[in-house]
Structure 1
Amino acid sequence: MVTETKETKISTTDSESGYMVRDGKPEGFFYLDHRTVDHKYNIVTDVHITPGNVHDSTPYLERLELQVKKFGFEQSLEAVALDAGYYTAAICKRLHKQKIYAVIGGRSFTPVKGLIAKWRFKYDADRNVYICPQNHELVYSTTDREGYRQYKSDPKVCAECPMLQECTRAKNKQRVLTRHVWQDSKEWVKENGRSRSGKYLYRLRYQTIERSFADAKELHGLRYCRFRGKKKVLEQALMTAICQNVKKIANHLSKQVG
């Protein structure tokens, strides 16, 4: 029996940090600052620290729920704008269920070179089947543990298809597509992003949350951790957010007085 092992890197100077590997980002041991700002005044409303190897989407729903209760947003939270890292089925489903207008950046998936992309297969919701470019059906087969439904073509039909070589390289001549059980919520989020209001909200991210992070790094020294340990790093992040908020509030009040 072969047992698979997973290598985990642990810092010898700060064991609570996490080893981060991301495209376009420096590789190493880091902490991540997950923060929320309001769109009107860019006030930081929440700060949360995780090790660098924790995915952005992991703490989101818990932090959202905390803010809703803290500020009494049960009836007043209208919309959220998030980057592509938060485009998960669970987040889309929760926001859809709570009727919070959500705009989330889309992820770009590169299809296997030489094969027909998934978007060319049309989903028929009424019949719960996919229709291939040659107008043949891929029928539902099973649902895996991650919540993805599998739709499979008929190998006998595929064997006679003129597009077989462009569709699948499977030895059994069968094409398999997957669709999450909460895919409707993900598509709802996509439609929001295509709307005029959705595009406006997503553009605001660059003026609000992205600006907030940039100011924290460039003007308040949050690019580097001054302490070791998650608790002390959180203290640094909280103090940074407080300084930013004081400046924002002072600027807003000065405009009112003037």
Structure 2
Amino acid sequence: MMGHQVEVAQLFYEFSLERHVPSGHLLRRIDRALDLSWLRAELAPFYSSTGRPSIDPELMIRMLLVGTCYGIRSERRLCDEVHLNLGYRWFCRLGLDGAVPDHSTFSKARHGRFREAEVFRRVFERVVGSCMSAGLVGGEGFAVDASVIKADASYAQRVEGPTLPPERSDPDRARRPVREYLAALDAASAQAGETTVVDGQPERLATEPAPAKALSLTDPTAAWTSKGSLKVSFAYAVNTLVDLRRAIVVDVEATPARWSEEVASTPVMIERTRRRFGLTPSRLAADSAYGSGQLVGWLMGRGIEPHVPLLDRERQTKGMLTWAEFSFDRSRDLYVCPAGHEMTTTGHVVPGGLKQYRAKPTSCGPCALKPRCTTGLARMVTRNVHEDEREHVRQLAGTPAFKKSACERRKVEMLFAHLKRNLGFRRLRLRGPTGAGDEFLLAATAQNLRRLARSLVASAPTCGPAPA
């Protein structure tokens, strides 16, 4: 006989959220690992002492972490889910009757107090500190890599060339992402002439990126790129620095999806990790995109072994004599070609940290090797100012430690796979470098919390049912 359920109205219910959240639930495990008791004290200077009470900042952070952990990308949908889901309510300390804030509250807080106080950066660093206390961070070996995330910028809303139209370049009328882009241009032009000295040679602080082929009218900082699996579109790169012991993210940086910007972010993250946590690795693992002479020299100057395949194009000579066939005389700072002619330098270092050595046209003209050497008047070769460090890396390439680092750096790629597949980070919601940075910091915080929660459960004694 077919059953039929009849709703029976009751006047009183005895219900406890605490009993309805399983002891092994992800949010219960994360709650044990998350400590936000410091948050209100640090945010207090950014709130007025009078007026109507605001939405609790801890509630907003907990809701954003729920959305990040479960791939809820829309804050409007996040508010609906927290309103309906008992586990989300328990984690956010809302009880059964607590009111869920309006979705617009997050935008106001993010662009105001949260950004002024760098809340997402502080939450991330507190979680990293908890991972260090739990023994998940070794500090001996780091790995770095970048992954491309599509920006919230339309393919159609773009202008060709590296310059915004005049009506979009007025900071007084421009939107926040455009203002951030214009401010970055001003800062870059102010530092354009600055140089530093490395091994007695002047060197630029950073490699100048090539002029942009196209700019987005809504988010001009995003790079017009076809990197990764993307078709041509605007995108940012999430640059991630990972400790190799348990794949804990120790720093993250948002940059336009350009190779030069990604490589330049590595020293920034390493220095920030040293200042904030006192961690300086003895080795850094990365792929060949990070094998530039400038980065290798910077790492070795700080006692960090670069376990990085070199970015070397010495064999790309279209059938001509390669750079390796020229011998270098260190005492006289010159090259000697295979025919015995000397090649001298002016000492000028071109962008990229390269010194040029040229032969005399009178030497190359009658030389029998000229058809195999050059099609110009005289042959030129370049030498990186960090060539000694590069030679050291070449000697490291076959060692067991180098091969081990090559395997371990795959942990960064697994984090990227989890970021895109499980957390839904295939396209950004927020615009501008600060918006991208906020999203990347929240994602890294969620990934670290999951690993921290798993380690705390593994080290804790077997638990019974959830407390009443």
Please tell me the residue identity of whatever aligns with 1:134: A
Note if contact 2:221-2:432 (Cα within 8 Å) is conserved in structure 1: yes
Match of 2:302 among 98, 101, 110: 98
| Corresponding residue for residue 65 of structure 1 | 271
Tell me the CA shift for residue 25 of structure 1: 5.1
Residues 218-257 of structure 1 correspond to what in structure 2 (within 5 A)?
218-257=421-460
Q: Which moved more, 1:134-143 or 1:24-33?
A: 134-143
Please tell me the residue identity of whatever aligns with 1:52: A
| Corresponding residue for residue 400 of structure 2 | 196
Match of 1:164 among 349, 370, 374: 370
Where structure 2 has 5 or more consecutive residues not aligned to the other structure, the ranges are 1-162, 164-210, 462-468
Tell me the CA shift for residue 45 of structure 1: 0.9
**Matched pairs, number:** 250
Distance 1:16 1:136 in 2: 48
| Corresponding residue for residue 416 of structure 2 | 213
Please tell me the residue identity of whatever aligns with 2:292: T
Tell me the CA shift for residue 102 of structure 1: 1.4
Tell me the CA shift for residue 20 of structure 1: 2.1
Distance 1:143 1:198 in 2: 34
Distance 2:217 2:342 in 1: 55
Match of 2:255 among 50, 59, 62: 50
Please tell me the residue identity of whatever aligns with 1:158: C
Distance 1:138 1:247 in 2: 58
Tell me the CA shift for residue 23 of structure 1: 7.6
Distance 2:435 2:317 in 1: 45
Distance 1:132 1:25 in 2: 44
User: Which structure's CA Rg is the greater one?
Assistant: 2
Note if contact 2:212-2:224 (Cα within 8 Å) is conserved in structure 1: no
Distance 1:65 1:19 in 2: 29
Change (3 A) 1:231 1:140: closer
RMSD over aligned CA atoms reads 2.5
Change (3 A) 1:204 1:153: same
Change (3 A) 1:256 1:63: same
Tell me the CA shift for residue 67 of structure 1: 0.5
Change (3 A) 1:186 1:25: farther
1:146-198 deviation line (CA, Å, top 9, x unaligned): 3432212233333333221010000x2x1111112222223323333332212
Query: Is residue 118 of structure 1 aligned with residue 315 of structure 2?
Result: no
Structure number having the greater strand percentage:
1
| Corresponding residue for residue 284 of structure 2 | 80
Q: Which moved more, 1:32-41 or 1:83-92?
A: 83-92
Note if contact 2:286-2:406 (Cα within 8 Å) is conserved in structure 1: yes
1:227-249 deviation line (CA, Å, top 9, x unaligned): 33332322222221122112212
Note if contact 1:101-1:192 (Cα within 8 Å) is conserved in structure 2: no
Distance 1:7 1:60 in 2: 22
Please tell me the residue identity of whatever aligns with 2:446: C
Please tell me the residue identity of whatever aligns with 2:416: F
Greater RCO between the two (CA within 8 Å, min separation 6)? 2
Change (3 A) 1:162 1:213: same
1:26-71 deviation line (CA, Å, top 9, x unaligned): 3210111011110010011111111224621122212211111111
Where structure 1 has 5 or more consecutive residues not aligned to the other structure, the ranges are none
Change (3 A) 1:114 1:77: closer
Q: Secondary structure at the match of 2:247?
A: coil
Q: Secondary structure at the match of 1:58?
A: helix
Note if contact 1:141-1:152 (Cα within 8 Å) is conserved in structure 2: no
Note if contact 2:292-2:310 (Cα within 8 Å) is conserved in structure 1: no
| Corresponding residue for residue 185 of structure 1 | 389
Note if contact 2:343-2:357 (Cα within 8 Å) is conserved in structure 1: yes
Distance 1:34 1:115 in 2: 38
Distance 2:385 2:230 in 1: 32
Tell me the CA shift for residue 214 of structure 1: 1.5
Tell me the CA shift for residue 21 of structure 1: 4.3
Distance 2:340 2:407 in 1: 39
Note if contact 1:17-1:30 (Cα within 8 Å) is conserved in structure 2: yes
Distance 2:212 2:427 in 1: 26
Tell me the CA shift for residue 217 of structure 1: 1.2
| Corresponding residue for residue 132 of structure 1 | 337
Match of 1:27 among 208, 232, 243: 232
Change (3 A) 1:232 1:154: closer
1:110-137 deviation line (CA, Å, top 9, x unaligned): 5232311212223232332223233443
